[in-house]
Amino acid sequence: MSTPVGPEPCNVVCPGCHQQVTTRIEPKATTKTHIIALIMCLTCCWPCACCLYCTQCARNADHHCPSCNAFIGTYER
The 10s digit of each residue's pLDDT in 16-33 is 999 999 999 999 988 888
Average pLDDT over residues 5-11: 91
Q: Is the pTM of this model over 0.75?
A: yes
Residue 64 inside a domain? The answer is yes
Mean pLDDT, rounded, of the chain:
87
Residue whose C-alpha is closest to residue 59's, from 31, 26, 28:
28
User: Looking at the domain assignment, is residue 2 inside a domain?
Assistant: no
pLDDT of 37 higher than 60: yes
* Beta strand spans in 1-77 (E): 11-13, 20-22, 24-28, 60-64, 71-75
pLDDT of 1 over the 70 cut: no
Is residue 68 domain-resident? Answer: yes
Of all residues in the chain, the percent with pLDDT exceeding 70 is: 96
Q: How many domains does the chain have?
A: 1
User: In terms of residue numbers, what domain contains 39?
Assistant: 11-75
Q: Is residue 25 part of a domain?
A: yes
**What SS3 class is residue 6?**
coil
